[in-house]
Amino acid sequence: MQLPSFIHTLRAGVAETNTNWSFSKGAFEQVSLITIWGWAV
């Protein structure tokens, strides 16, 4: 395995993980807001 391609793969994996984490965090916040709003009403 070449080092440059390894680094590229690693960076792609990190970027994908960050994207998935941000999406999950956003979805979790939306669900929390909906739950709180539904409970308040």
Ordered by start, the domain boundaries in the chain are 8-41
- Secondary structure string (H, E, C) spanning 5-23: HHHHHHHHHHHHHHHHHHH
Whole-number pLDDT of residue 17: 84
Q: Which two tokens stand for residue 17?
A: 């993980």
Whole-number pLDDT of residue 22: 81
Mean pLDDT by 10 residues, the chain (41 residues): 81 86 84 83 69
Whole-number pLDDT of residue 1: 56
Tell me the C-alpha distance between 10 and 36, whole Å: 38
